[in-house]
Amino acid sequence: MAEADLATWLASKPGTLHVDAANPWLQEVTFNTRLHWQYAWVSGHSDGNEFWYENGGEFRRFYFGPNIRFLDLFTLKADANLVADESPGGGDLKFGYDSMFELFLTADLSRFIDLPAVDSFKLSYGRREQQLTEEHATSSRDILTVERSMLDAYILPGVPVPANPTGVWAELKSGRHSFSGGILSSDHGSELADWGDGRLYWLTWRCDLTDLAGMEMAEVSLNLVVNDAGSEEQQAVAYDHTATAWVRFGEGPWTIRGSLIYGDNRSSIPGRGGAFGGIDLLPTWWLVPEKLQFAARAEYAVAAESEGLRLASRYARFAGELENEDLPALAGGRGDRHASLYAGLNWFIVHPHLKWMTGIEWERMENSATGTTVYDGITGWLAMRVHF
């Protein structure tokens, strides 16, 4: 009974305060919540040193904010990050406003575009998470693995905290095709950044292939990001440009998702320039429909120079920090050959709003120039995800 009551409450969209499409001033006010907690441990070796690390549990995300649609033209979306959890490093757990994860205003200009081939045209300004790979085109609300892959984290445009740069962009939809493009500032502002530093330019094409493929889910996307920030300006990415292609297909209980990534590093530090690229594949299978799901992932990445790739900051690199295992090669996390394999189970208490996730990932990073094994080990997770 308690589970049924919880399912009914979550499905009722409890954050919805107002919906009235006929109101000329205010059409919708909805508040959205995401709360993510997880525990992780890492066991492996780095540069000949064995280690064990566990984070003791942390609040990974706590986002809260409104969707407001008004004047039948504008939509304001805001997600504030309401937790700063530094307890895995011996710091404090603090609830309260920390930063803006996303904050943007969209104008739906479709009514002013009288072109038969154009179904939708929108113009936006603010900060928003980029979707260059299939993994990041899947919201953290619906994430299939506890953490996204190394290469996905490496190319994501971001600044220290929060991770999303400010920009202006347009989105156009025509039949099965969607196009978007924009300009991002590389300035490191914590809310809406200014435009005093460099620029990033991005273009995206997405195509819905469900009718052509005769499947429940079939989509393909091509993406390009170009970094035009000067060497003395603040940087939002570590590369000059990157291009990606991703796909997702699904039918019945299974899905298969994958991304191809290629880029060219930007660095004057020896060993950190040159080209890089890789591939990841992520299949899933419902063992019990909408209750128990198996997810796996395989990734392989290479770089032209010896430090052209870098491990994601969670969790292996953090294990190598001075206050933890004090392993400099691991804390730096840089190499030129990377491989990983992930397997996990997602148990939905209330689909799709509340789930427990378990996962285990083997990962290896090598530096072929020095013959160093930067990291070879296993990360295990237990995570809770809830959104409404």
Write the pLDDT tens digit of every residue in 163-219: 688 999 999 999 999 999 999 998 877 788 888 888 999 999 999 999 999 999 999
Mean pLDDT of 121-147: 94
Prior bond to 162 cis, omega within 30?
A: yes
Closest CA to 341 of 57, 145, 83: 145
Residue 241 is part of which domain span? 35-64+99-387
Q: Does 23 map to a domain?
A: no
Q: Does 374 map to a domain?
A: yes
- Count: domains in the chain: 1
Higher pLDDT, 10 or 210: 210
pLDDT > 80? residue 296: yes
pLDDT at residue 188 in the model: 79
Q: Does 14 map to a domain?
A: no
Alpha-carbon gap, residue 53 to 316, rounded angstroms = 8
Higher pLDDT, 302 or 118: 302
pLDDT at residue 146 in the model: 97
Q: Does 110 map to a domain?
A: yes
pLDDT > 70? residue 159: no
Mean pLDDT of 147-171: 85
Mean pLDDT of 279-297: 98
User: 267: burial class by Cβ within 10 Å (0-12, 13-18, 19+)?
Assistant: middle
Question: For 354, what's the count of Cα atoms within 13 Å in the CB-facing half-sphere?
Answer: 10
pLDDT at residue 229 in the model: 85
Q: Does 73 map to a domain?
A: no
Alpha-carbon gap, residue 340 to 319, rounded angstroms = 18
Q: Which residue has the tokens 């025509």?
A: 174
Higher pLDDT, 232 or 333: 333
pLDDT > 60? residue 64: yes
pLDDT at residue 208 in the model: 97
Mean pLDDT of 293-314: 96
pLDDT at residue 263 in the model: 97
pLDDT at residue 232 in the model: 79
List the structure tokens of 211: 């009718």
Q: Does 300 map to a domain?
A: yes
List the structure tokens of 282: 């992520």
pLDDT at residue 160 in the model: 54
List the structure tokens of 145: 């693995």
Q: Does 347 map to a domain?
A: yes
CATH number at residue 248: 2.40.160.10
Closest CA to 21 of 66, 77, 70: 70
pLDDT at residue 163 in the model: 63
Alpha-carbon gap, residue 283 to 381, rounded angstroms = 19
Mean pLDDT of 302-310: 97
Alpha-carbon gap, residue 232 to 240, rounded angstroms = 14
Alpha-carbon gap, residue 305 to 95, rounded angstroms = 42
Q: Any idea of the CA torsion for 79, 208, 223, 359, to the nearest 10 degrees?
A: 60
